[in-house]
Structure 1
Amino acid sequence: MELALLLIPMWVLATPLLVTIIEAGRVLEAASSTISGRIMLLQEQPITQFSVRMEAQSPGLPEVRVAHHSELNKRILIALIVASTLLGGSLLFLSCFWICRQKTLKHYIGKKETTMEAAKGVPSNPIMVEFNSLRVGSRKGSVAIFNYPLLEAATNNFSKSNVLIERGSGLLYRASFDEKFIAAVKKVNSARQDSEREFKNEVNWLSKIQHQNIIRLLGYCIHGEARFLVYDMVQNGSLDTQLCGPSHGSSLTWHLRLKIAVDVARGLEYLHEHCNPPVVHRDLKSSNILLDSNFNAKLSDFGLAVTSGVKDEDKIKLSGALGYVPPEYISDGQLTDKSDVYAFGVVLLELLMGRKSVESNTGAERQSIVTWAMPQLTDRSRLPNIVDHVIKDTMDLKHLYQVAAVAVLCVQPEPSYRPLITDVLHSLIPLVPIHLGGSLRITGNVPSA
């Protein structure tokens, strides 16, 4: 049926040529009959010397030429050759097109079968045909489905030696699929309340969102009750592990900390200003800010993300986010982009002071970094003394005062007093060196105020 449909254009092209051949045949037939009739007429009349002379002198009787018959034969022959060439070429082209289409159809069917096998947990070979096609095509709104044995082999049976980050939402593992393909695999903590809903929500958001400062979701895996997410590799773990882990922030210089703050602000700006409808991350904290090999910050954990303006009637508890939750969320469950701005201000204070968002005092009482730092942030004489000792005396004090002022504005109790994340971003970019993504030109050693 398909081949018959493909032959229709060929017959359309050939029809004019066939008509020309038929007309030429009719002309030849008419000419031949005329010539034959005249020859018979001449044969019936007596041929005398007088009649021959009269015929030669008579202008009304046309002279019959055999050359006309020869020219018609040539025209018909040429028309036949052209028509045959066009028909043959059309047949050859359509045959090649049909063969290529059959090969493409077989490839598509094979690819679809592989995807179905992966969704059922059947190992595919070669490794993840879906993932390879995703990397090449980079199609928005599409993620790969990984099978469990593949993740198990890549993480060495999820061994402790491959753990990158430990956090409430789940463990993050280093996964080596081959020498060139290394990724991060998050095993979702299924014991948490609403873990299934958060898993689906994160897959939904990250399959639609693409930005350099938002973690890229490569795929996911469902194996029984277990849920897994596969991200781009983040060699330097999370901001939380860098600041409060074994290194205690020793790898993070002043300019590198500002670069991380700018990266986070850029990611939030994309969510607030460029997504339609705008998105509120709702769970921004240092443990959800992942760092790649160049300390580029990536926002992760979108399980609690919602569209801006949604009122959380159930007031879902943000596990592990104590100290980042804005006052208006606690009081009436209102979620807006200013909720993320408050959390960003807390992260900025952590970068400045190297402290956790909430720390225990000598007693059982716990104090947030906002409550502890606010009285000292507005006092220029006291501010340099509360800065993380790793970066102390390494920055221009004017820049320190400016960053502290931005942090104070972000953590204001009243949402309307907080700036938009776009304004925060424009305030911090001039403090970051050009080679780190800002606009600051460094001409010499660290200046002093």
Structure 2
Amino acid sequence: MRYPSSITMIALAFLISLNYLPIVQPQSCSNTGTFSSNSIYDKNLDLLLSSVPSNVTANGGFYNATAGQDPNKVYILALCRRDLDSTTCYNCMNTSSQDITKQCPNQKEAIIWDGACMLRYSNRNIFGTMEVVPSQYVPNPNNISSTVVDEFNQTLYNLMGSLVTKASSPKFAVGDASFSNSRKVYALVQCTPDISQTDCRICLQGAVEDISSCCGGNEGGRVLRPSCFVWFELFQFYDSTLANSLPSPPNSTQPITPTSDNSPPTKTSKEESRTYRLAKFIVVPTVGLVTVMVLTWVILQKWKSKSKPNVDNDDAIKRLETLQFDFSTIRAATDNFSDANKLGQGGYGAVYKARLPNGQEFAVKRLFGNSEQSEEEFKNEILLVAKLQHKCLVSLEGFCSEGRERILIYELVGNGNLDQFIFDPIKRAQLNWEMRYKIICGIARGILYLHEDTRHKVIHRDLKASNVLLDDEMNPKISDFGLARLFDAGQSHNMTHRRAGTFGYMAPEYVSHGHYSVKSDVFSFGVLILEIVSGKRKSWLCNTDDVELLLSYAWNNWREGTVSNLIDETLGNGSRSEIMRCIHIGLLCVQENVAYRPTMASVVQMLNNTHSSSLPTPARPAFLIYSDTDQDEALLESNS
């Protein structure tokens, strides 16, 4: 049995001398509930904890198991750093299995991290699911010299980017990089083997992003998450020999059954636990996913480097030429972009269904034109959407840039877009109120994620019915980020001389003066709510051949007390209180005064609090003069 290397021991001693590795490990105790001492849950947990040290070493550093039956079933997951030998792993797990119940007494869910291992348990299934909360930050107390901090940050994020890509399949990677002459920074990244390669990438990318907020300017630091962790220092804290020689730990789930729910459980022997071992092989990632990984690191380098704040997108695309989808592959997958595979067409391109030889299906968006503007939007969408991950946002899987062809490759969403449903006289009858309300709430959560739950605020700028896709279960997914813009921390608004978007959804301050902010998306969302409720477009021709604007129509009926005229006639059995509340919220969102419009956080809260009637009284909406398609384009072109 191998003992820790001298380098590892010196590094750990150095960290302890700095109080960098605290006596009490970072931990989190969930508030999901408690159990009683000597209860069945307590006995099942004791059984699992006692089995962890031996089983985690026997299984190559990773072990997950269950004990008991619902509602007293316990799930446990243990992970050692892959660069450590079995003795260090065993000792770490032995200590953690004793400390976790001391630090989180009688908690049904808890997690504890150590410098060498992580241990968590729960009363719910925690296997195979990527989780990023709770998370812990452990910065090195020493600061990097200000004379080299920019070079250090650039080197660190380049290193982390390469390690995230490298860790995709084995879920682990270590490496180093030089900066400031002969100085080096060392880093380690690792995921739990039970999650997918894609989830591992997402988890690690988010952890690396957190480094700047927790450990920016420090000589080292750790970001610890339930499904992954990252670590960097100015000295070699890992054993590179072991890291590069050990095989990947198997992904195994082992049920441990107590002899009786009413009697103390007996321990399962190592031989018995091995009977349940099942190695799961991970599918090699597609080229598209590799593309997404590398693109995301281009974003990180662009955002976080002080010395080079403006990364050239052209250079980024060139560096990715060897990783993109070949046009011949996409052409074959769409049967040469046949009409039979055409899913739809918008102002920027046509969308086709693509099927690769391995059976994978994607949605392929082939962009029109070859102008400077379309090229900018193509690059913008790649660099931006690759970073965004939310169930209410469409997922970008790759791209193709070959000759004049500019193609974006997305996950395939089965039911087209919202525009094709709510404005179709036949299909809109399929959308009952429950479905429409779910769609409204899902879109709101997606926009809230863009505005507040990403590191940088994202303003979509082109939110409309045709840019909301619907999956097989009619869940909404926001798409088309070609016009989206990032806001830095503390930035509330911006201005542009080139307006772009869809007339009728665009906020008045944006159309008139080029001002845009999160409230611009709120305005678009308000228009979208009123369209979903009414089944009417933002403007339409009346019987008198006059043009009726949805906002003025809604406002006039609201003011006159006839707002029921706005409700789609197919919603006869829908909840009138919810429908009226959504109309109210929609009118609040489209108010002319930017300051009067709610934030998306407030909108989500209003949508969730359906039993409360205390909503502010809406003020007059912004009435924009109607113009047809040609006039819209002329207006936007002249403003640019």
C-alpha displacement at 1:336, in angstroms? 0.6
Whether 2:574 is the aligned partner of 1:395: answer yes
Whether 2:565 is the aligned partner of 1:385: answer yes
TM (norm. structure 1) is 0.63
Partner of 1:311: 494
**Greater mean alpha carbon deviation, residues 325-334 or residues 361-370:** 361-370
1:92-111 alignment to 2 at 5 Å? Answer: none
Partner of 2:97: none
Q: Do the aligned partners of 1:349 and 1:407 also contact (CA within 8 Å) in 2?
A: yes
Q: Deviations over 1:59-100 (max 9, x none)?
A: xxxxxxxxxxxxxxxxxxxxxxxxxxxxxxxxxxxxxx79x7
C-alpha displacement at 1:379, in angstroms? 4.6
Q: Deviations over 1:306-327 (max 9, x none)?
A: 1244533313232xx1110111
CA 1:407 to 1:303, structure 2 compared with 1: closer, same or farther past 3 Å?
A: same
Q: Do the aligned partners of 1:258 and 1:431 also contact (CA within 8 Å) in 2?
A: no
Q: Deviations over 1:202-245 (max 9, x none)?
A: 01111111111111100000121110000011111111111224
Structure 1 or 2: larger strand share? 2
AA paired with 1:342? F
Whether 2:604 is the aligned partner of 1:421: answer no
C-alpha displacement at 1:335, in angstroms? 0.7
Partner of 1:50: none
Q: Do the aligned partners of 2:414 and 2:471 also contact (CA within 8 Å) in 1?
A: yes
Query: Which of residues 377, 381, 405 is equivalent to 1:202?
Result: 381
Name the CA distance, whole Å, in 1 between partners of 2:448 and 2:472. 23
Structure 1 or 2: larger helix share? 1
Query: Which of residues 534, 538, 541 is equivalent to 1:360?
Result: 541
Aligned residues: 312
Whether 2:361 is the aligned partner of 1:182: answer yes
Q: Do the aligned partners of 1:322 and 1:358 also contact (CA within 8 Å) in 2?
A: no
AA paired with 2:567? V
CA 1:384 to 1:363, structure 2 compared with 1: closer, same or farther past 3 Å?
A: closer
AA paired with 1:150? T
Whether 2:504 is the aligned partner of 1:323: answer yes
Alignment partner of 2:528: what SS?
A: helix
Partner of 1:253: 432
Name the CA distance, whole Å, in 1 between partners of 2:369 and 2:547. 28
CA 1:275 to 1:129, structure 2 compared with 1: closer, same or farther past 3 Å?
A: closer
C-alpha displacement at 1:431, in angstroms? 5.0
Q: Deviations over 1:340-386 (max 9, x none)?
A: 00000000011001111222346775443112221113554x22233
AA paired with 2:287? E
Whether 2:287 is the aligned partner of 1:130: answer yes
C-alpha displacement at 1:180, in angstroms? 4.0
Query: Which of residues 511, 514, 519 is equivalent to 1:333?
Result: 514
Alignment partner of 2:522: what SS?
A: helix
Partner of 2:394: 215
CA 1:138 to 1:194, structure 2 compared with 1: closer, same or farther past 3 Å?
A: closer
C-alpha displacement at 1:333, in angstroms? 1.0
CA 1:192 to 1:400, structure 2 compared with 1: closer, same or farther past 3 Å?
A: farther
Alignment partner of 2:390: what SS?
A: coil
Partner of 2:587: 408
C-alpha displacement at 1:396, in angstroms? 2.2
Query: Identical aligned pairs, as a percentage?
Result: 32
1:237-316 alignment to 2 at 5 Å? Answer: 237-245=416-424, 247-308=426-487, 309-316=492-499
Whether 2:171 is the aligned partner of 1:171: answer no
Name the CA distance, whole Å, in 2 between partners of 1:147 and 1:245. 37
Partner of 1:122: none
CA 1:198 to 1:138, structure 2 compared with 1: closer, same or farther past 3 Å?
A: closer
Name the CA distance, whole Å, in 1 between partners of 2:399 and 2:392. 20
Give the CA RMSD over aligned residues. 3.2
C-alpha displacement at 1:193, in angstroms? 6.5
**Greater mean alpha carbon deviation, residues 396-405 or residues 252-261:** 396-405
Whether 2:532 is the aligned partner of 1:351: answer yes
Name the CA distance, whole Å, in 2 between partners of 1:178 and 1:327. 48
C-alpha displacement at 1:138, in angstroms? 11
AA paired with 2:446? G
C-alpha displacement at 1:296, in angstroms? 1.3
Q: Do the aligned partners of 1:377 and 1:408 also contact (CA within 8 Å) in 2?
A: no
AA paired with 1:401? M
CA 1:219 to 1:160, structure 2 compared with 1: closer, same or farther past 3 Å?
A: same
Name the CA distance, whole Å, in 1 between partners of 2:525 and 2:463. 7
Name the CA distance, whole Å, in 1 between partners of 2:565 and 2:496. 42
CA 1:176 to 1:284, structure 2 compared with 1: closer, same or farther past 3 Å?
A: same
AA paired with 1:371? S
Whether 2:330 is the aligned partner of 1:147: answer no
Q: Do the aligned partners of 1:128 and 1:146 also contact (CA within 8 Å) in 2?
A: no
AA paired with 1:130? V
C-alpha displacement at 1:261, in angstroms? 0.8
Q: Do the aligned partners of 2:554 and 2:563 also contact (CA within 8 Å) in 1?
A: no
Alignment partner of 1:249: what SS?
A: helix
CA 1:342 to 1:129, structure 2 compared with 1: closer, same or farther past 3 Å?
A: closer
CA 1:405 to 1:185, structure 2 compared with 1: closer, same or farther past 3 Å?
A: same
C-alpha displacement at 1:334, in angstroms? 0.8
**Greater mean alpha carbon deviation, residues 198-207 or residues 187-196:** 187-196
Name the CA distance, whole Å, in 1 between partners of 2:386 and 2:507. 28
AA paired with 1:296? N
Q: Do the aligned partners of 1:406 and 1:424 also contact (CA within 8 Å) in 2?
A: yes
C-alpha displacement at 1:402, in angstroms? 1.0
Alignment partner of 2:582: what SS?
A: helix
CA 1:138 to 1:221, structure 2 compared with 1: closer, same or farther past 3 Å?
A: closer
Q: Deviations over 1:120-161 (max 9, x none)?
A: xxxxxx9985246679x8995589621111111111111111
Q: Do the aligned partners of 2:483 and 2:500 also contact (CA within 8 Å) in 1?
A: no
AA paired with 1:314? H
Name the CA distance, whole Å, in 1 between partners of 2:284 and 2:342. 23
Alignment partner of 2:413: what SS?
A: coil
Larger Cα-atom Rg: 1
Whether 2:376 is the aligned partner of 1:376: answer no
AA paired with 1:336? S
Q: Which runs of 5+ in 1 are unaligned?
A: 1-8, 11-96, 105-125, 433-449
C-alpha displacement at 1:270, in angstroms? 0.7
CA 1:190 to 1:208, structure 2 compared with 1: closer, same or farther past 3 Å?
A: same
AA paired with 1:162? N
Q: Do the aligned partners of 1:258 and 1:428 also contact (CA within 8 Å) in 2?
A: no
Name the CA distance, whole Å, in 1 between partners of 2:285 and 2:332. 13
Q: Do the aligned partners of 2:289 and 2:397 also contact (CA within 8 Å) in 1?
A: no
Name the CA distance, whole Å, in 2 between partners of 1:141 and 1:378. 51
Partner of 2:405: 226
TM (norm. structure 2) is 0.45
Name the CA distance, whole Å, in 2 between partners of 1:198 and 1:407. 29
Q: Do the aligned partners of 1:217 and 1:229 also contact (CA within 8 Å) in 2?
A: yes
